[in-house]
Amino acid sequence: MANGAELKVPDHLEGGVYANFASVWYTRSEFTVDFSLRPANDDLLEVARLVSRVRLPTIFVFELIRKLSVNMTDYEREHGEIPRFDDMEES
């Protein structure tokens, strides 16, 4: 259930898509998040394949960030701290 409403997921979207990179940009009326798949080969960092583009009305962005924060806190409580990219690059 999503905010009290039943969420129906079409069969073709049920599996979702995998992304390991995201970029965000905005206009006056919306934010756009491009989710991409970057290859593991460091030589190809400039090459990424867009797997999904999501456009959000500006009024929804704070709610999304709040929900992500709550879920990240719950995740870390259950599984431990999420590693940061900066920490991984220093190793």
- Residue 50: inside a domain, yes or no? yes
Number of domains in the chain: 1
- Residue 53: inside a domain, yes or no? yes
- Residue 29: inside a domain, yes or no? yes
- Residue 4: inside a domain, yes or no? no
Domain holding 17, by residue range, is 11-90
pTM, two decimals, is 0.76
pLDDT for res 85: 73
- Residue 73: inside a domain, yes or no? yes
- Residue 63: inside a domain, yes or no? yes
Average pLDDT of the segment spanning 9-25: 94
Q: What is the pLDDT of residues 21-76, one digit of tens each?
A: 999 999 999 999 999 998 877 665 678 899 999 999 999 999 999 999 999 999 99
pLDDT for res 1: 46
pLDDT for res 39: 83
- Residue 2: inside a domain, yes or no? no
- Residue 64: inside a domain, yes or no? yes
* Helix (H), strand (E) at residue 88: helix 85-90
pLDDT for res 5: 86
Q: How far is CA 34 from CA 15, 46, 47, 63, 86, in A?
A: 18, 15, 14, 19, 21
